[in-house]
A and B are shown apart, each in its own frame.
Chain A
Amino acid sequence: MDPSTEIVRLVVNGQSREVGVPTHFTLLEALRYVLGLTGTKQGCDKGDCGACTVIVDGEPVLACLTPVWEAEGREVTTVEGLAGPEGIHALQDCFDLHGAAQCGFCTPGILCSAAALLAGNPSPTREEIREAIAGNLCRCTGYAKIYDAVEAAALRTGGPQG
């Protein structure tokens, strides 16, 4: 085996996965090109756009700037893992109902940032929603419908006082 290749054990969307990757791979490359989880997008690949946002141990991070080995043994949730046994996540449904996605390229990252927000703060203010997705650029929607959708999802899942 190439000496710079290693086996990394990841827990992605609740499932244990082993990937054989070069040490210089990012988590994003492992997700998309080894595990085939292409929901997480590769936009700028440099930290600027947030399209690659995934949730690691409850916190939104940029998969494009996370070395794959850094995710070893931690819980990684991608957009593919947001839906539960009862169906899609309230955010996903509300994004649909509110027209919060146009081209959709930013959507997986925004859903992850918003899901991490709601998990820790079930009834965020609009300002908190803005701040939570400040690192996710959207070139299509103008954000208003995204904020509406997150607010609607919060009402459904947490409501006032959570």
Chain B
Amino acid sequence: MAIIRDMIPAFDLFQPASVEDALALLAEHGEDAWVLAGGLDTFDWLKDRIKRPKAVVDLSGVEELTGIRDTGAGIEIGAMTPLSRVVGDPRVRADFALLREAAEHVATPQIRNQGTLGGNLSQDTRCWYYRSGWPCYRAGGNTCYASAPKAMNREHCILGRSRCVAVSPSDTAPALIALGARMVVRRAGSESIHEAQDFFIGPATDIQRMTVLRAGDLLTAVRIPEDWAGARHYYEKVRDRGSWDFALVSVAAAFRMDGDTIGDARIAVNGVAPFPVRLDSVERMVVGHAPDEALATEAGELAVAGARPLRHNDYKVPLMRNLVRRAIRSVA
């Protein structure tokens, strides 16, 4: 719910034209700097005056960060590529339709025109206690308001909690995990490549970050290997409202069939933990088996093993179970 506190506090605006310049600016300003992509998450924080960066580094002028190109071994999507461009790209449509479906389910047409793939992956959680500026663990405080006895936590996590119970809001994240994508992260003088599922971190690793990105880092691109090009896939996002909303639970799965049995599978779920969850154990269980009703049921049960709902979100357990079940059924 929007609380408009005031106008945005003043900041110094930097508009680099190259990745090198952006990295130099981020190195120079350290913790005082804020990376600006499409601004949809950024401006929410700045308008509420909860985050007050001194230096805003706007990536919109860095042309090399926008666009989708063939690498010979798959595709590389620049971090600043708008979501609507990802949705409309012929190569994404043809080979990585799972990503197209997920990106198409993000927010509204306007937001997909403005929002970038990099921003969608790097966005902060939507836990409203945290977003409203309550001094919770994630904000550097010493409590979690969302798991207090009277807390409203219908949208929070059932898995992966560690003091914080917020969930990852990104719709593109589970699709990229299922497609075996890799994130390219640069900082002044170095580059690192992360498997999509390792790009996202939970509160047990660092309660103040959702991803591996630290001050000074830039997510420059997402690489999708050929491995799952054209694979059978399943995507479903359950949300409160049909027009637009963040996911309550979503599932993204890619399958390679071997005759009537599942030859290989990658399955990820979001909305259930502080990070998108890759279901490795379910993948191992289904591979080599025919995707019949018994297997689907078993997969759903295994997916939710260990789930611990909060006071208002026990509905997420059957929701997650059934989405995983449907994913397996989809290749029957």
Contact = CB atoms under 8 A, between A and B. Distances in A.
Interface stretch (B43-51, B95-103, B319-327): B43-51
A134 B111 CA distance: 11
Nearest to B82: A59
B44 A47 contact: yes
B43 A65 contact: yes
A66 B39 contact: yes
Nearest to B107: A135
Contact of A135 (B9, B38, B111): B111
Contacts, number: 84
A23 B53 CA distance: 13
Given A24-B7, A65-B40, A134-B244, A70 B109 contact: no
Interface residues of A, number: 30
A42 B10 CA distance: 21
Nearest to A63: B110
Contact of B109 (A23, A29, A69, A132): A132
B93 to A, nearest CB: 17
Contacts of B109: 60, 113, 131-132, 134-135
A65 B114 contact: yes
Contact of A61 (B8, B110, B243, B244): B110
Contacts of B84: 59
B244 A24 contact: no
A24 B8 contact: yes
Given A45-B2, A47-B44, A70 B10 contact: no
B11 interface: yes
B58 interface: yes
A39 interface: no
B162 interface: no
Contacts of B13: 23, 69
Interface in A9-54: 22-24, 26, 29, 44-48, 50, 53
Interface string A108-143: 000001000000000000000001101111000000
Contacts of B108: 50, 134-136
B192 interface: no
A149 interface: no
Interface string B5-25: 001111111010000000000
B114 A61 contact: yes
A62 interface: yes
A67 interface: yes
Interface residues of B, number: 30
B4 interface: yes
Contacts of A161: none
A45 B2 CA distance: 8
B281 interface: no
A50 B13 CA distance: 26
Interface string B304-331: 0000000000000000000000000000
A62 B2 contact: no
B297 interface: no
B60 A70 contact: yes
Contacts of A60: 109-110, 113
Contacts of A132: 109
Nearest to B7: A24
A135 B110 contact: yes
B113 A65 contact: no
5 contacts: A29-B7, A45-B4, A61-B114, A132-B109, A137-B243
**Among all A-B residue pairs, the 9 with the closest Cβ atoms:** A135-B108, A46-B2, A24-B8, A44-B2, A134-B243, A23-B13, A59-B113, A4-B10, A135-B110
Given A26-B8, A60-B110, A113-B109, 6 more contacts: A23-B10, A47-B43, A62-B111, A67-B39, A134-B243, A134-B244
Interface of B: 2, 4, 7-13, 15, 36, 38-40, 43-44, 46-47, 58, 60, 84, 107-111, 113-114, 243-244
